[in-house]
Amino acid sequence: MSSQASAVKVTPAPAWAPKPATLARFASEVAKYPADQKQSAVMACLAVVQQELGFVSAQSEKVVAAYLDMPPIAVHEVTTFYNMYNQQSLGQYKLNVCTNLPCQLRNGQEALDHLCSRLGVEEGGTTADGMFTVQKSECLGACADAPVLLVNDRQMVSFMDNTRLDELVEMLKAQKV
Ligand code: FES
């Protein structure tokens, strides 16, 4: 019986290696903690990665783990626990709609559904032009303003009824660079 090697095409993950400037930013974050507690800088280092790469790849998790002398799985646990870390490349604007109970009681799910319908995407999806990604979110800590939405992990917008959602989308489109 002849053995015939089958050609298996493997698509490599995008390579990422920290630049000297990236390592300097890591060092700056590590310096904020006692020398024997540099692992405390893991969230900040992952934020640096995301700012440079747009998301936190499996390879970059390993780089951070090696830099901080942590098991890679421990870094992965941080990445996957917090909404702010992207597991893949997303749209220019990441829109996180809170669907926890206080927001649900004030139409959080309706806000999410309206936004998905308005942009023509499923929850978790990205628009064809790469401009918007819509995700649901756990509590964003602003329950009194429910329902709330977070833009790119930084800008909180409150009391999101359909009119305000439409206005937000138009405003962000107008800001497109
Ligand atoms: S439940 Fe939505 S901000 Fe707390």
Best CA proximity match to 103, nearest among 53, 141, 152, 51: 141
* Most ligand 1 atoms within 8 A of CB, residue of 139, 156, 160 to mutate: 139
Please state the domain count of the chain: 2
Q: What is the CATH number of the domain that holds 36?
A: 1.10.10
Radius of gyration of the chain (CA): 20
Question: What is the amino acid identity at position 104?
Answer: Q
Does the CB atom of residue 146 touch ligand 1 within 6 A?
A: yes
What is the C-alpha separation between 177 and 172, in angstroms, rounded?
10
Terminal C-alpha separation, the chain = 61
Does the CB atom of residue 148 touch ligand 1 within 6 A?
A: yes
Residue 75 lies in a domain: yes
pTM for this predicted structure? 0.79
Please give the number of the atom of ligand 1 that sits closest to the Cα of 147: 2
Residue 49 lies in a domain: yes
State whether 127 and 60 are in the same domain. Answer: no
Name the residue range of residue 65's domain.
20-81
pLDDT tens-digit map of 89-135? 999 999 999 999 999 999 999 999 999 999 999 999 999 999 999 99
State whether 125 and 164 are in the same domain. Answer: yes
Residue ending a domain, choose from 35, 60, 81: 81
